Amino acid sequence: MKLKIHQKILIGLLVPILITAACIFYQLKSFTSAYQMIHLIESSDDINIILLEIRRHEKNILLFNEKMSESMFYENLEVLKRKIREIKVEIINNIGESTYKTLLINLSDYENKINFIISNRSHAGSDYDMQVREIRVIARAIEEPFVKIKRTERKNIDEEFTKIKTSFITSFVILIIALSGIGYLFSKRLLQGLKAMQRSFEKLGKGQYSKIFNVDGPYEILSLIDVYNSTIRQVETSKKQLNNTLKELELVNSEILKKQDILVEVKKAAAMKLLASEISHEINNPMSSLNMMLGLLYEELNENDPKKENVSFMLGELQRCNLIIEKLTAFAKKEQLNLRDVSLKEIIYEVSEIVSKQNVEKGITLTLNIDALPLEVTADNLLIQNALINLLSNAYEAIPAGGVVEVTGQISSDYAIILVSDTGEGISEENLSRIFEPFFTTKEQSGGIGIGLSLVRKIIQRHGGKITVNSTLGKGAVFAVHLPLKNK
């Protein structure tokens, strides 16, 4: 069933609104959680205030033997117990049941020791000072859980509000994208019909009676096209009736129309040939032309010409580009790996030469210590080469001019290990956990889009290996690639 324009507009508005409403509804949970955290902090603040009052009355009891402070002490102590019972569940969720039980034990010990001192003040002996110190130690132990609760909950509130803010921004972006996408699709279908009508009216103005076929669009546009086609049919019928009385003109007109039709077909065929030629040129010619010209240049250069090595290198890189494009396409489709016995050392030497030449102006020192690597592993040569190029390029980008990149080879019972380290600024702890996520990047200013390391991890994982990273800010980073040994 074809929907009318107003129905499509309504649906186009409802979908983003429902998405936004769902996101807002989801955020209600975060707001509720934040409210509970704030309530717990307020309760903890109340408890700390009560504890301060209790400690003040405790001091008056121990130092000045004030009777009024005794009654106020017990009154505040009961309020404290009640407050703790009111938020028992929140306290347990925050500090654990064992800590909560310890809190109750400390509270009971605190009260018992105060009772003992009050009851035996007249018989206070040499251990009085020791008992006072114990009371103060217990009081501080009672205060500590609530200080910890406030600190933890304030941190959690900050994180919760950050999540809420991020979610709102995400919802807004989704809303904009949804509206833009729906608007684009709607306008595309609408304009398709309008453009078809425009072309037909232009032909009609030239005396060409052409109907509109195979056009998709809103109900109103299709109805208008039907009316237009019906009108064209009526005009054609009238024309035939008129031509019956003008046979000579009909013959002439028929001949003209035939020539015009032939001309249109010729133009269409020429346009299609031109389009096909342009497409073929744009896709196939540049790579083949470049390959041919470089090949000719290579043949023309003398064997002793230092440029010949560079041209040879460029030809090899051009061929490698073709292979990489094909291989990455197969990789994206998860086609079977081209596994064979390869030398990691040779791959590392080749990759090092490529990346060094690409970054020669930076003056970075590249050190290779790979003698410990096994002679061969079973792997897809091109994919492993691509992964190591990504890793080394990433290391070069991470350090300033004059820095050092080191590639070290190791071997364990199950893996051949390649360590790529640099002397850059390092990676923050916050970013370490996300460094291999697709589209996560810390190099927005340099145009990074965050797929290099994600692709590296995917390649290594497909080989049954793993990749890890360790870093300390200011001390660089170390990426460790683990590839299974042969027969493992």
Residue 270 has pLDDT above 60, yes or no: no
H/E run at residue 457: helix 452-462
Across residues 367-390, what is the average pLDDT? 92
- Which residues 6+ apart lie within 8 Å of 328 measured at CB? 386
Residue 66 has pLDDT above 70, yes or no: yes
Residue that the structure tokens 């941190």 belong to: 155
Strand, helix or coil at 28? helix
> How does DSSP classify residue 445?
G
Q: Which ranges constitute the DSSP H helices of 245-338?
A: 247-283, 285-300, 306-332
| Alpha-carbon 70 to chain mean position | 62
State the average pLDDT for the chain: 77
- Which residues 6+ apart lie within 8 Å of 53 measured at CB? 72, 76
Phi-psi region of 301 (alpha: psi -120 to 50; beta: other; left: phi over 0): beta
Among 367, 377, 321, CA closest to 346: 377
- For residue 280, the model assigns a pLDDT of 36
Q: Are strands 404-411 and 365-369 parallel, antiparallel or unpaired?
A: parallel
Q: CA–CA separation, 71 vs 53, rounded Å?
A: 12
Residue that the structure tokens 């342009």 belong to: 278
Rg (CA), the chain: 40
Domain ranges of the chain: 5-178, 288-327, 337-484
Rounded to 5°, angle at Cα 306 from 300 and 311: 55
Count the Cβ atoms, other than its own, within 10 Å of residue 455.
18
Q: Please give the CATH architecture assigned to the domain spanning 337-484.
A: 2-Layer Sandwich (3.30)
Q: CA–CA separation, 436 vs 419, rounded Å?
A: 16
Q: CA–CA separation, 283 vs 224, rounded Å?
A: 41
Binning the chain into helix, strand and coil, the percentages to the nearest 5 are 70, 10, 20
Residue 112 CB-density burial (10 A; 0-12 exposed, 13-18 middle, 19+ buried): exposed
Q: Which two tokens stand for residue 415?
A: 């893996």
Q: Which two tokens stand for residue 288?
A: 């083949």
Across residues 355-359, what is the average pLDDT? 87
Q: CA–CA separation, 332 vs 415, rounded Å?
A: 25
Q: CA–CA separation, 337 vs 262, rounded Å?
A: 53
- Residues in a beta bridge with 419: 408, 480
The residue with greater pLDDT, 209 or 46, is 46
Q: Assess contact for 380 and 339: CB atoms under 8 A.
A: yes
Length of the chain: 488
- Which residues 6+ apart lie within 8 Å of 295 measured at CB? 315
Q: CA–CA separation, 73 vs 77, rounded Å?
A: 6
- For residue 252, the model assigns a pLDDT of 66
Rounded to 5°, angle at Cα 89 from 86 and 93: 140
Q: Which two tokens stand for residue 137?
A: 């130690």
Residue 162 CB-density burial (10 A; 0-12 exposed, 13-18 middle, 19+ buried): exposed
Across residues 418-434, what is the average pLDDT? 90
129 pLDDT tier (thresholds 50, 70, 90): confident
Find the range with the poorest average confidence among 28-37, 127-136, 302-311, 470-479.
28-37
Q: Which two tokens stand for residue 362?
A: 């930076």
- For residue 421, the model assigns a pLDDT of 94
Among 260, 276, 360, CA closest to 310: 360
Among 471, 472, 477, 368, CA closest to 422: 477
Q: CA–CA separation, 158 vs 307, rounded Å?
A: 61
Residue 267 has pLDDT above 50, yes or no: no
- For residue 408, the model assigns a pLDDT of 96
pTM of the model: 0.36
CATH number, span 5-178 = 1.20.120
The residue with greater pLDDT, 228 or 486, is 486
- For residue 446, the model assigns a pLDDT of 52
The residue with greater pLDDT, 206 or 276, is 206
Q: CA–CA separation, 203 vs 209, rounded Å?
A: 7
- What is the identity of the amino acid at 361? E
Residue 163 CB-density burial (10 A; 0-12 exposed, 13-18 middle, 19+ buried): middle
